[in-house]
Amino acid sequence: MSDAPYDAVLLDLDGTVYHGSQVIDGAADAVATVRKQGTAVRFVTNNASKAPSAVAQHLRDLGLAAETDEVHTSAQAAAALLRDRLPQGARVLVVGTASLGDEIVAVGLEPVRTADDTVSAVVQGHSPETGWADLAEASVAIRAGARWVATNVDTTLPSERGLLPGNGSMVGALRIATGAEPIVAGKPQPLLFETAARAANADRPLVVGDRLDTDIAGAVAAGLDVLCVLTGVATPHTILTAGKAERPTHLSADITALSEAVDELRVGPRPGWEIGEGDVLTVRGEGDRLDLLRALCDAAWRTGVTRVRADGDAAEAAVTGLGLA
């Protein structure tokens, strides 16, 4: 991230740094390079299934230097939100892992697993063990008037096997069962990014993530620049057609781009490519494929035109390679 005006990097994890138990190639070296340049690093994840200490240990197991206080999770954000809205000692029904319950304890609230008339709120985070019985207890509490907070609403969770059901899918089941809508604590709400930036004493952090509807939307909501990588959920097509609230300022294939000059990653006109504007975006020229995507996004977001046509063999190969043919 040479010649960058950023004083911290706020990194998403699933789909950005790793897929489950598999680190993304070059991620450890990229993060180490950022640290050597004197830039603060924070890990900001919507996954509420692990305690910050466990997340930091997982990162170290994958070869990345990480301390517990560098990790910011949606479980922490949800607990903080409930702390600010409930009296001390209030009972909160937990749908999620034991570590989510620990975060509830840490803010002076009492976690429970069974619905009754003493439950003031429901907090729901991802857990691979969540089943029908857990959702049934939450449904009873929500229907009785308990405040409902979801750590996040990611519908999918990147893994080494591909996309798996995320917390948002389970939240969707409760939406249907109760007709209620949760308060969302994690991304795309800006709280996680704001908290991480403050912890890093950063005035101008750069967010790095792979999901338009959470990482990028959360950064946009927080007024921060954001680098979207293509190792997780986002694709060239979804980025090109993204709405204003989900448009990144920078694009790269993966996190290793952090070792490059950051201005080279910014969405905008790029050398070698000419984009003709009209009823269709006409691509002419040749050059780096990701540079073409940066130039196409610039044109599409300004004009509202997202259909793409290639003029010439080199342009055809690049457009096809991006999956935009």
Active-site residues, by number, are 12, 14
Q: What is the DSSP letter of 146?
A: -
In whole angstroms, what is the distance from residue 109 CA to residue 88 CA? 6
Strands, E assignment, the chain: 8-11, 18-19, 22-23, 40-45, 71-73, 91-95, 110-112, 119-124, 147-150, 156-159, 162-165, 183-184, 205-209, 225-229, 250-252, 273-276, 281-285, 308-310
In whole angstroms, what is the distance from residue 89 CA to residue 75 CA? 18
Are 166 and 154 a contacting pair, CB within 8 Å?
A: yes
Q: Which residues contact 283 (CB under 8 A, 6 or more apart)?
A: 273, 274, 275, 276, 292, 296, 308, 309, 310, 311, 315, 318, 319
Residue 117: exposure state from Cβ atoms within 10 A (0-12, 13-18, ≥19): exposed
Are 238 and 213 a contacting pair, CB within 8 Å?
A: no
Are 120 and 91 a contacting pair, CB within 8 Å?
A: yes
Residue pointed to by tokens 């230097």: 65
